[in-house]
Amino acid sequence: MAARERVAVLDDAAVARALLPRTSVVTEREESPGVFVSTDGPTSSYRRVVTVGDAEADGRRRVTQRVDIQPAIPYWGWFFGPPLVNHLAKIGGPDDKVPMWFPPDHMDERATATLSRLGVMAFVLGYGATLLTQSITFIAGEFGADKGAQGLALASVRVDILLALPLTLWADRHGRRRLLVGGTIAACVLTALGALAPSLWLLTGAQVLARAVINASIITIAVMVAEEMPSGARAWSTSLMSVAGFFGGGICVMLLPVADLSDRSWRILFVVPLLLLPLAVRAARGLTETQRFVAHVENRTERVRPLEVLRTHRRRFLLLAASASLLSVFATPASQFLNEFLRTERGFSGAQITLFLTVTSIPGGIGIVVGGWLAEKGRRLVGATATFVGVGATVMMFISSGAGLYAWSTLASIIGAAAVPALGVYGAELFPTEARSAANGGISFASRIGSVVGLVFAGELGDRIGLPRAFAYLAIGPLILTVLILVAYPETAHRELEDLNPEDTALPPTG
């Protein structure tokens, strides 16, 4: 419980405003004169007491306000709690402006706590999802693999989606929570098996299994966010999940100097998920099934047939599947060959790669959060602009060196990251509950196809003409996507899922 007391000398109009129930970040109810409690908001306990003193010589009054708050933010309260408490402690009016770091829609206790716990799962999964990408150049050093072999290994591991697809279908039939919890636990264990691999190809096989459950679990997080968050906070919440995954991947980046200690020390990085497993299990205990899935099950009258449902949403599915493929044909190889490019074409050591990725990638977290906030005002313009500028800056990075390399990479990180929440939320928004996970699994499959094409192309062509020119050719895909976003994507900001998918069961009213 946090307590804050503020004192201000106010005129009569400001005093009157301070004595009204708030309606912005929290919705208050006046319990007694000058005493307010929350009926809706991101807190598990909230009480505001306003005391007004006698008039001073100039007619103004001394107002003392005490706020006792318990933010409903498990695990992340150390980061988000203080700014929330300080904002709510300010003396102001009932409809004071919502801060930019908070979504432009009400987040109640359940939504806030659920988002926090999903963030922990995203953090753990983010490490596993990033691991092979970051360590492949060091793994290749032990096994003597050239760029072509690395590209083939990275492309081969993309068949994980063939195993992830049945898992997403299972989630549409049996529930989101069960898939997410079981998948995260399995991901940690299967990733650790890679530490025992005697060859690049056996490591690739272990990663196929691990990444299958990782990707199915990440898809499930996106679905749970869409189903649990209010309509004006879905993109913003998606951005926070991306940041949480980014932090998990950041742990992997920070450990890269360990992989550079010897030819075999990269194996240590594959054991780390076992250390993160207790955190994931603890967070999972507080997760519940999504309200929309529960409502769907309670009103279901026949066996779930996700693939049949998708046929009635064929146009939406093909649009998003094509988009995912066009983006991945560039984004995946650009990400996965970056360390190889830095090590072999720019002469970076493991420590220098870590420094570069840290300096240039951390600002991407800002781009993700700002992109999520802007996307709540409109998805399409944010998504198209971020894609176009981000891809262009990435191409410039690969043809630069010295300070230009850092500058272009940072710009690509900030601007390009804004596309993640703006576009990522569409997959869950445009499909009904009965097929939401399956649809996103299919979109991920299309993304893998683009990834495989891009990885093989970049690997083979990179050995012949160099990675910079290879990525200039691959950038054609995202440029086509930019046009698609502007001319074919619907606007979904502030629209309920039941509005976008009329066949869904409406949630019962709350309160």
pLDDT tens column, 4-13: 999 999 999 9
Same structural domain, 65 and 151 = no
List strands edge to edge, sheet with 35-40: 2-10, 61-71, 43-55, 35-40, 27-32
At 117 the pLDDT is: 97
What distance in Å separates the CA atoms of residue 340 and residue 334, rounded to the nearest whole number?
10
Handedness of CA 350, 351, 353, 358 (dihedral sign): positive
The count of residues in the chain is: 511
Residue 508 has pLDDT above 70, yes or no: no
Q: Which domain holds residue 417?
A: 110-499
DSSP string, 203-253: HHHHHHHHHHHHHHHHHHHHHHHHHHS-TTSHHHHHHHHHHHHHHHHHHHH
Same structural domain, 196 and 122 = yes
Same structural domain, 63 and 142 = no
Q: What phi and psi values does residue 105 have, to the nearest 5 degrees?
A: -150, 155
What distance in Å separates the CA atoms of residue 418 and residue 368, rounded to the nearest whole number?
5
Same structural domain, 47 and 121 = no
Rounded mean pLDDT, 22-40:
93
Residue 193 has pLDDT above 60, yes or no: yes
Answer yes or no: are the C-beta atoms of 24 and 38 closer than 8 Å.
Answer: no
What distance in Å separates the CA atoms of residue 334 and residue 468, rounded to the nearest whole number?
10
What is the number of domains present in the chain? Answer: 2
Q: CA 389, 393, 394 angle in degrees (round to 5)?
A: 120
At 448 the pLDDT is: 84
Residue 496 has pLDDT above 80, yes or no: yes
Asked if residue 506 is part of any domain, the answer here is no
Q: At what angle do helices 350-375 and 234-254 cross, to 10 degrees?
A: 170
Asked if residue 511 is part of any domain, the answer here is no
Fill in the amino acid letter for 111.
Answer: A
Whole-number mean pLDDT of the chain? 89
Residue 59 CB partners (closer than 8 Å, separation 6+)? 11, 12
Residue after which a domain boundary falls, among 42, 71, 100: 71
Same structural domain, 115 and 6 = no
In Å, what is the CA distance from 309 to each residue of 174, 247, 303, 322, 433?
16, 36, 12, 19, 10
Same structural domain, 326 and 461 = yes
Place of tokens 């869904």: 504
Residue 462 has pLDDT above 80, yes or no: no
Asked if residue 504 is part of any domain, the answer here is no
Q: At what angle do helices 403-417 and 350-375 cross, to 10 degrees?
A: 30
What distance in Å separates the CA atoms of residue 211 and residue 191, rounded to the nearest whole number?
8
Handedness of CA 29, 34, 35, 40 (dihedral sign): positive
Token pair belonging to 209: 């299994």
Asked if residue 193 is part of any domain, the answer here is yes
> Per residue in 396-444, pLDDT tens?
998 888 888 899 999 999 999 999 999 999 999 999 998 899 999 999 9
Residue 261 has pLDDT above 60, yes or no: yes
Q: Which of 178, 167, 164, 209 is nearest to 191 (CA)?
A: 209
Which own/partner pairs from 347-354 qualify as long-range (CB within 8 Å, at least 24 positions apart)?
349/260, 350/138, 350/256, 350/257, 350/259, 350/260, 351/256, 351/257, 351/260, 353/256, 354/253, 354/254, 354/256, 354/257
Helices and strands: H and E segment counts in the chain = 23, 5
Asked if residue 473 is part of any domain, the answer here is yes
- Write down the pTM of the prediction: 0.87
Same structural domain, 130 and 210 = yes
Q: In this predicted model, which residue has the larger pLDDT, 302 or 328?
A: 328
Q: CA 169, 423, 238 angle in degrees (round to 5)?
A: 75
Asked if residue 268 is part of any domain, the answer here is yes
Residue after which a domain boundary falls, among 71, 95, 122: 71
At 301 the pLDDT is: 66
DSSP string, 96-127: PPPPTTS-SS---HHHHHHHHHHHHHHHHHHH
CATH number at residue 346: 1.20.1250.20
Instruction: Give the CA radius of gyration of the chain.
Output: 24
